[in-house]
Structure 1
């Protein structure tokens, strides 16, 4: 993960943001589904982002609240 000049955290030198992956995860998407939605992401990178989010859930959950939408939306 890298932080761009605007302070946005991007995954594995792609345009996909940390927030994008975490939001998809919170909507119920499996890592494979996230990879299908964002083909520039590699599955190990998706797992890394989710793993870091889960391990730091207390801090991150204050910023990302689950919503009622399904993964496909």
Structure 2
């Protein structure tokens, strides 16, 4: 399996933390030296291991924000 290269360009914050210390975070990440995407996933405390996640373009993130703003939470 090929190595995945990533660079966390900006950390916006974490949403939750598991009992093992992994944090679900929203970050701006460049994957394999490509254009950066907004990324929501769990990370270990050292950002060396990650869980499955979701990557969004800026346009997709804006649409998600609009949908969330319409919801009654």
TM-score over 0.5 for the alignment? Answer: no
Structure having the higher Rg:
2
Between Structure 1 and Structure 2, the one with more helix by share is 1
Q: Under a length normalisation based on structure 2, what TM-score does the superposition of the two structures give?
A: 0.28
Between Structure 1 and Structure 2, the one with more strand by share is 2
Of structures 1 and 2, the one scoring higher in RCO (CA 8 A, sep 6+) is: 1
Q: Under a length normalisation based on structure 1, what TM-score does the superposition of the two structures give?
A: 0.28
